Chain A
């Protein structure tokens, strides 16, 4: 069975500061891992994904994440936060065939000016 834990339901950073959103997963099979962003009353937009290959994955809007098997982690980072990054972020692990996803509880990112 798969599960996802996102540490910190709310994260607050200053504009220009490093963004770090934590995600740990549990999976009985090699995982497919995703980060999505959600703006209020909207669907989810894919930021990046890890399936196989390079463990450092680069996504849109300057975000990246590193798959660390030994730590069962897939933390999301961005070197310099922008006001437009304020949103809710979801980490997800692929659950079997057909792209069923198990989502973490989400982390709301607040960016202070």
Chain B
């Protein structure tokens, strides 16, 4: 069964509104979760590392105020796209490392965001 639950799978919103995406670890507690963004026909780019109980770590070039990350508990991380614009339309995927450094990530099924 699924190890990571991501919700919603699709969302369409108007420019200027905010959208929240949830990522839940179903089988284990996760002090760290990763948020990736995937543009059409491109690879996944790491946006940020969500840390339970502390601030997220953002990759270079990612706007912290635009993409708000909250790791509220050991099983839930949220990504809020604030004041969304059409260029924020993308596929957002969260992932959860199950344990040791060399363990493969478990991925959510992604969220397709379309900003009109």
Contact = CB atoms under 8 A, between A and B. Distances in A.
Contacts of B49: 98, 100
Interface residues of A, number: 24
B43 A44 contact: no
Contact of A103 (B43, B104, B108): B43
Contacts of A63: none
5 contacts: A43-B4, A49-B104, A99-B95, A99-B104, A106-B42
Interface string B1-37: 0001010010000000000000000000000101000
A46 B93 contact: no
A42 interface: yes
B106 to A, nearest CB: 8
A44 B101 contact: no
Contacts of A52: 102
B34 A100 contact: yes
Contact of A104 (B43, B91, B103, B107): B43
Contacts of A100: 34, 46, 49
Interface of B: 4, 6, 9, 32, 34, 42-46, 49, 91, 93, 95, 97, 101-105, 107-110, 112
Interface in A66-113: 90, 94, 97-106
Nearest to B110: A43
B1 to A, nearest CB: 13
A45 B105 contact: no
A90 B32 contact: no
A-B pairs with the 4 shortest C-beta distances?
A43-B107, A99-B97, A51-B102, A44-B107
A46 B104 contact: yes
Contacts of B112: 41
